[in-house]
């Protein structure tokens, strides 16, 4: 069965040129990130852009390099909605962090 | 009616004896580890972000040259090592063990270069900027604590990955291990790369100074 699974994945997996394209895209997106840092754009724009680009890069790595695009949907649905939910729950701390500077003595 | 039910049950993916994910248990185990480890890194990134948002005058010690240039080269090394890892898995799937071992060595070279550059970057911070895990010239010790914890845990993962790949590589050369074992090692290596895709912009680029 394992051999059969490998055959199926091999048949539907990405080709070497596709992997090379993903690698070039990742390098290009990294270049854009470094350019934004060099230009010293405003913090909020910078943070939004960097997070957006990082999520795109992460998605490319997971989909192609980690092969999840070619796995069953059930594997993705088992692993990722829970992970994303837990990560989003951690955002609850950031409101507290934003209030702290104003609560310091003499602020 | 009962024959219809038994017919449906016999074709169900959940009845046992067949993986509902059409994947082997090693790979699924690695995916579970990756998900749990992702939450560890997320918690550390949130701790760093929390401290940064809550602290006025957070230090920005990363000069464009050499820190940002160094960390960009480190990113290039990791991304390239991910590509060579993909090639190693591809070669193993085609039964080309020697080629796979070569690609694995290339991957280890990329990871090794990353570790050397990262240690150099750490030494630059420690010796020239006088940043340690408990103290720094700006009087914000949380910077060193969160920075070294986050990047230190990542570097530990890279070093463990290098040892893991070395074990896999020698086994591949000796004709042991199957393609799926190399693929599982690849999952771990790509995860290490993936984590850096968040550490690099959020820690380095957001604290860049021209």
The pair of three-digit structure tokens given for residue B103, joined into one six-digit string: 């690609």
Q: How far is CA B186 from the centre of its chain?
A: 10
Rounded mean pLDDT, A97-103? 87
Inter-CA distances, B76 with A9, B73, B79, B123, Å: 28, 5, 5, 20
Q: What is the 3-state secondary structure (H, E, C) of A48-104?
A: HHHHHHHHHHHHHHHHHHCCHHHCCHHHHHHHHHHHHHHHHHHCHHHHHHHHHHHHC
List A residues 37-56 in contact with B (Cβ-Cβ < 8 A): 37-38, 40, 43, 46-47, 50-51, 53-54
| Interface contact A73, partner B, CB < 8 A | no
Instruction: State how far residue B83 is from chain A, nearest Cα, in angstroms.
Output: 7
pLDDT of residue A107: 63
Residue of A nearest to B31 (CA): A79
Residue of B nearest to A67 (CA): B187
CA–CA separation, B121 vs B143, rounded Å?
16
Q: Which of B19, B80, B206 sits opposite A46 (nearest CB)?
A: B206
For the cut 80, the answer to whether the pLDDT of residue A13 exceeds it is no
For the cut 80, the answer to whether the pLDDT of residue A8 exceeds it is no
pLDDT digits (tens, 9 = 90+) for A26-71: 999 999 999 999 998 898 999 999 999 999 999 999 999 999 999 9
pLDDT of residue A1: 38
For the cut 60, the answer to whether the pLDDT of residue B6 exceeds it is no
Judged by DSSP in three states, B118 sits in helix
Instruction: State how far residue B72 is from chain A, nearest Cα, in angstroms.
Output: 8
Residue found by looking up tokens 């957070």 in the block: B58
**Mean of the per-residue pLDDT values of chain B:** 90
Judged by DSSP in three states, B14 sits in coil
Domain locations in chain A?
Answer: 2-103
Residue found by looking up tokens 């550059």 in the block: B117
Please name which of B34, B30, B191, B25 lies closest in space to residue A82, comparing C-alpha atoms: B34
For the cut 60, the answer to whether the pLDDT of residue B177 exceeds it is yes
| A28-32, A59-63, A89-93, B6-10: least confident range | B6-10
pLDDT digits (tens, 9 = 90+) for B119-146: 999 998 899 889 999 989 988 999 999 9
Q: How confident is the model at residue B10 (pLDDT cuts 50, 70, 90)?
A: low
Q: Which of A38, A74, A101 sits opposite B56 (nearest CB)?
A: A101
CA–CA separation, B64 vs A68, rounded Å?
36
Please say whether the beta carbons of B132 and B59 come within 8 A. Answer: no
Residue B125 zone, left/alpha/beta (φ > 0; ψ -120 to 50; rest): alpha
Task: Enter the DSSP assignment of B23.
Answer: S
Q: Which of B24, B82, B202 sits opposite A2 (nearest CB)?
A: B24
For the cut 60, the answer to whether the pLDDT of residue A95 exceeds it is yes
Q: How confident is the model at residue B151 (pLDDT cuts 50, 70, 90)?
A: very high
Q: How many CA atoms lie within 13 A of B210 on its CB side?
A: 8
Q: Which residues does chain A have within 8 Å of residue B38's beta carbon, measured at their own beta carbons? A: 83, 87
For the cut 50, the answer to whether the pLDDT of residue B170 exceeds it is yes
CA–CA separation, B22 vs B28, rounded Å?
10
Contacts of A21 (CB under 8 A, 6+ apart): none
Domain locations in chain B?
Answer: 24-209
Q: How many CA atoms lie within 13 A of B83 on its CB side?
A: 18
Burial A1-34 (b: 16+ CB within 10 A, else e): eeeebbeebeeebbeeeebeebbeebeebbeebb
Q: With a cut of 0.90, is the ipTM above it? A: no
For the cut 60, the answer to whether the pLDDT of residue A4 exceeds it is no
CA–CA separation, A36 vs A46, rounded Å?
7
* B172 or A14: which leads in pLDDT: B172
pLDDT of residue B5: 47
Region B24-209: CATH code: 1.20.120.80
């Amino acid at each position: 069965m394992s051999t059969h699974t490998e055959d199926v994945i091999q048949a539907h997996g990405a080709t070497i040129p596709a992997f090379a394209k993903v690698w070039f895209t990742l390098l290009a997106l990294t270049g854009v990130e470094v350019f934004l840092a060099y230009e010293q754009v405003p913090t909020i724009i910078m943070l939004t852009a960097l997070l957006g680009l990082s999520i795109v890069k992460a998605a490319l790595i997971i989909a192609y390099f980690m092969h999840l695009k070619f796995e069953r949907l059930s594997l993705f649905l088992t692993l990722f909605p829970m992970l994303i939910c837990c990560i989003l729950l951690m955002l609850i701390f950031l409101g507290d962090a934003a209030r702290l500077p104003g609560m310091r003595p003499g602020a | 009616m009962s024959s219809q039910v038994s017919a449906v049950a016999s074709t169900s993916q959940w009845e046992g004896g067949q993986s509902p994910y059409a994947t082997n248990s090693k790979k699924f185990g690695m995916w579970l580890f990756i998900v749990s480890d992702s939450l560890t890194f997320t918690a550390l990134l949130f701790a760093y972000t929390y401290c940064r948002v809550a602290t006025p005058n957070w230090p920005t010690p990363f000069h464009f040259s050499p820190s940002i240039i160094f960390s960009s080269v480190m990113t290039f090394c990791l991304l390239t090592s991910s590509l060579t890892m993909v090639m190693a898995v591809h070669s193993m799937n085609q039964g080309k063990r020697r080629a796979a071992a070569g690609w694995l060595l290339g991957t280890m070279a990329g990871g090794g270069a990353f570790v050397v550059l990262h240690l150099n970057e750490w030494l630059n911070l420690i010796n020239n900027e006088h940043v340690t895990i408990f103290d720094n010239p700006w009087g914000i010790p949380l910077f060193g604590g969160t920075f070294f914890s986050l990047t230190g845990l990542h570097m530990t993962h890279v070093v463990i990955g290098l040892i893991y790949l070395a074990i896999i590589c020698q086994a591949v050369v000796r004709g042991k291990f199957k393609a799926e074992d190399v693929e599982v090692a690849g999952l771990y290596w790509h995860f290490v790369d993936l984590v850096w895709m968040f550490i690099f912009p959020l820690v380095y680029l957001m604290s860049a100074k021209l």
